[in-house]
Structure 1
C-alpha cells in the first residue's frame, strides 16, 4: 500500500473502525498553525467531515463483534451488576478519550505540529518529564505495539467469529429447519471442527488484504455496514419478543467470572484510537466534544440494552456471540450470513493498521519494484497466516475476545490516558483530586489487565484439555 507519510503517523485507527482512506490525508503537514488559523484547525477545514459524518464514523468505530459478545459478558457479571458496570465503563471510556484529545491539543501546540498520533502523544508527553525523556521513543513504540496487538487480535476474533457462525449455518442446512417462532432447543451434531472453516477462509482473506488501496473496498464497506445494521435490528426484534417471564437470573455473577466480563466489555469499548483522527479531520473540531458525548452515549445505550436483553432472552444458554443462539430458520441464518459478510470486509480494514506499520520497513530493505511488491505481499500473507494460526490454537470466541480486551484494550483505553495527563501537565500543579483520579483509573486498568489475562488463559487451558465441544445448543 503506497503511503506518502510515515507509517506511524497513521497508526491511531483502532477498535472496530474503518480507517480514513489515504486519499483524504495530506502528503505534507504545515509547519504549524498561523495567526489566521484557530487552534482547532488541523486536517479538516472546509474539506473536513461534518458533525453528522464524524458521529457516524465514531459509532462505526465502536460497534462490531464486541457488541455481540456483551450478553455473555452480562451473564458473567450478573443481571444487575453487568449493566451498571457497563454504564460506569462507558463514563470512564469517554473521560479517557477526552484526556487523550486534551493532551494532543496541548502537545501539538507545544511542538508546532497540526496533529499527533496516539504514539506521538505518548512520546512528547514523556519528553515533558526529565527522568522519562530518554525513554520517550520507547513509549511511542509501546503504544504502537499495543495498537498492533489490538488490531491483530481483532483479526483473530474475526476468524473465530466467521468459523463459528458459518459452521452453524452449514450444520443447520443439513438438519431439519426450525420454525422462527419455535422456542424448542435444538442440538446439532458437530459435522466438522470449526477450525477447518478457519482454514477455508484463509485464502479468501489473504486475497482480500492484497487490495492495494482502501478506497476500492469503500462500496463493499458500505454494504457491510448495511448488512450489520440489518442483522442487529433482527437480533433485537427476536430477543425482545422471546424474553421468558418470570425472570429468574442471578443479579451478581461469580467474582472470578467478572474478570472475563471486564475483558469482553473493554474489548467492546476500546475505540479510543478512533478519537484523534476523527477530531483532526472535522470541519469544526471545537464541536468534537459534543460528537464524543453524543456518540458514546448512544454506544453505551446500545451495549447495555443488547447485553441485558440478550441475557434475559437466552439466560444461562447464551453463547459467545448472540448470533449463535438464534434459531435455525432461514431468516436468522440470513442474519448470521449478513453479519459474517460485514465482518469479512471489516477484516481488511482492521488489518490496515498493523500492515501500515510493519510493511513499509520490510519493503525499505529491498530494492527494485518487483522485489518490493513481493515483500509487501509476503508480509501481508504472513500476518494473515499468523492471525489464522492463533485463532486455530484458541478457537474459543468468548475467551479470545476477553484475552485481547484484557491484554491490549485495557492498556490503550484505561492505563495510558491518565498517565498522559500526568506527564503532559505535571509542571502545572495538578490537584490532588485529579492525581488520585488518574491513579485510580490506571490501577483499575492494571488490575483488569492482570486478572483478565490470567483468568482468560486459565480458561483456555481448561477448555483445551476438554477438547472441542460435541454439540452446539441453540434456542432460548
Structure 2
C-alpha cells in the first residue's frame, strides 16, 4: 500500500490528458512499456543499493550515498565522478521535489478556481495561487511531520471517496469509441512521456520504504512488494487514462477534475477532497527538498543558536518560491511534463543504470554481458526521453508567452 501511495499522485489525474497527447492505442502500448522499464530500473536501483550496503556492512545507504559507494567499485573511468554525482543526485532530488511542490500549487489553484468560477466570479488561477502563500507558510512552520499524521489520514481516506466520484463520472456517458484517436500528432508525444514518467516515479520515497521494512529482502524480485505495487500502478494508469480519454475525448482538460461538472455536488466535492489532499501533501514533498538543501549544504554554514530560526525561514522561503514559480509557469501539463522528463530521466533511469554497471563490474555482467547492455539501453532511453520530453514543454511555454495565450490551461 505504501508503494502504491508513494507513486500515485497528481500523475494519475493527468493520465487522460496524457492519453490524448499520445492517442489511445499508442498510449496503451507506451504506458505499459514505460511502466515495465521503470519497474526494471527500480529493481536494479534497490538491488544495487542493497548489495553495496551489504558489502560495506552497513544497514542502509541514502540514494546519493549509494551512488557514490557504488562508483567506488565500478569501472576506473567512472570513479572520478563520485563528487559530481553526489551533488547531481541531491540537486535532482531537490529540483524534482520542488517541482512537485509547484505542480501541487497549480493543482490546488485549479481546483479552487473551478469552484470560484461557478459560485462567485471568474478570476485568474494565479490569484488563487497568491492566496496559497499564507496557508503554506503556516503549515511549513510545523517542525515535525508527525503533527500532520491525523490530517494525512483524513486526506488518504477521503481520497478513496474522491477517486470513487471520478470513476462514476468516467464510466457514465462514454463517447463513441471510434471518435478517439488511436495515434495523436507525434509532436505531442513528448508531453505524454514526461507526464507518464512523472506518474510512475517516486525515487526518494521508494528508497525510503525499503529502508523501513521489517524484511527488506521481500522488497525486490519478480514477485517482490515493489513489483506488485508498480504492476498495480501500471494497471491503474492504463484504466484511468483510457476511460478518462474515452469519456471526455478532445475536451479533456489538464487534470480530469477540471472536466467534472461544475454544477453538481459530487464533482465539487471531489475538487475539495483533492485540493485538501494536495495541500497536506505539499509539505511532505517540500520536506524532502528542505532536507536535501538544508542538511547537505546550508546547516553546517550557520551558527548553532541561529539554526532553528534560519531553518524555519528557509522552509517558508521554499513555500513562497514554489508559489512564485507556479505563478510564472501555471500550465499544469507543461510543468508536470518538464519535471517528469528532466528530473526523473536521471533519478529514475540513468542513476540506477550507473549503480548497476558499477556494482556488477567485479562480478560480471552475465552471459553476453546482457546486464551491461540493458543498462546502456536504459541510459540511451533516458537521454532521448529526457531531451525530447524537456524540450517540447519549454518550447510550448515560450510560445505561449510570446503569443500572449492563456497559460493556465
Q: TM-score, normalised by structure 1?
A: 0.81
Aligned mate of 2:16, from 56, 65, 71: 71
Aligned equivalent of 1:21: none
Q: Assess if the C-alpha contact under 8 Å between 1:159 and 1:198 holds in 2.
A: yes
Q: Secondary structure, in 3 states, of the residue corresponding to 2:65?
A: helix
Distance in 2 (alpha carbons) for counterparts of 1:365 and 1:311: 51
Q: Assess if the C-alpha contact under 8 Å between 1:267 and 1:401 holds in 2.
A: yes
Structure 1 residue 287: Cα displacement? 1.7
Distance in 1 (alpha carbons) for counterparts of 2:71 and 2:185: 39
Structure 1 residue 433: Cα displacement? 2.4
Whether 1:396 and 2:342 are equivalent positions in the alignment is no
Distance in 1 (alpha carbons) for counterparts of 2:407 and 2:44: 48
Aligned mate of 1:348, from 283, 292, 301: 283
Aligned mate of 1:191, from 109, 122, 146: 122
Aligned equivalent of 2:260: 326
Distance in 2 (alpha carbons) for counterparts of 1:427 and 1:471: 52
Q: Assess if the C-alpha contact under 8 Å between 1:227 and 1:338 holds in 2.
A: yes
Distance in 2 (alpha carbons) for counterparts of 1:368 and 1:416: 34
Change over 3 Å in CA distance of 1:88–1:325 after alignment to 2: same
Structure 1 residue 429: Cα displacement? 2.6
The structure that is helix-richer by fraction is 2
Structure 1 residue 126: Cα displacement? 1.2
Residue by residue over 1:404-463, the C-alpha shift from the partner in whole angstroms, topping out at 9 and shown as x without a partner, is 001101111122211211111122231432222211111111011111111000111122
Distance in 2 (alpha carbons) for counterparts of 1:242 and 1:335: 19
Q: Assess if the C-alpha contact under 8 Å between 2:63 and 2:207 holds in 1.
A: yes
**Shift >4 Å, 4+ stretches:** none
Q: Assess if the C-alpha contact under 8 Å between 2:129 and 2:323 holds in 1.
A: yes
TM alignment of 1:139-218, pairs within 5 A: 139-174=85-120, 191-218=122-149
Q: Assess if the C-alpha contact under 8 Å between 1:266 and 1:405 holds in 2.
A: yes
TM alignment of 1:451-466, pairs within 5 A: 451-466=388-403
Aligned equivalent of 1:314: 248
Aligned equivalent of 2:303: 367
Q: Assess if the C-alpha contact under 8 Å between 2:108 and 2:275 holds in 1.
A: yes
Unaligned runs of 5+ in 2: none
Count of equivalent residues: 401
TM alignment of 1:216-365, pairs within 5 A: 216-289=147-220, 290-328=224-262, 329-360=264-295, 361-365=297-301
Distance in 1 (alpha carbons) for counterparts of 2:135 and 2:46: 38
Distance in 1 (alpha carbons) for counterparts of 2:408 and 2:328: 19
Residue by residue over 1:343-377, the C-alpha shift from the partner in whole angstroms, topping out at 9 and shown as x without a partner, is 000001111111112224434333353x2222112
Distance in 1 (alpha carbons) for counterparts of 2:389 and 2:16: 18
Distance in 2 (alpha carbons) for counterparts of 1:212 and 1:470: 35
Aligned mate of 2:42, from 97, 100, 104: 97
Structure 1 residue 113: Cα displacement? 1.1
Change over 3 Å in CA distance of 1:278–1:311 after alignment to 2: same
Distance in 1 (alpha carbons) for counterparts of 2:373 and 2:218: 29
Q: TM-score, normalised by structure 2?
A: 0.94
Distance in 1 (alpha carbons) for counterparts of 2:286 and 2:373: 37
TM alignment of 1:81-96, pairs within 5 A: 81-96=26-41
Q: Secondary structure, in 3 states, of the residue corresponding to 2:397?
A: helix
Q: Assess if the C-alpha contact under 8 Å between 1:359 and 1:380 holds in 2.
A: no
Structure 1 residue 247: Cα displacement? 3.2
Structure 1 residue 95: Cα displacement? 0.8
Q: Could you tell which deviates more after superposition, 214-223 or 380-389? A: 380-389
Q: Assess if the C-alpha contact under 8 Å between 1:71 and 1:318 holds in 2.
A: yes
Change over 3 Å in CA distance of 1:297–1:451 after alignment to 2: same
Aligned equivalent of 2:374: 437
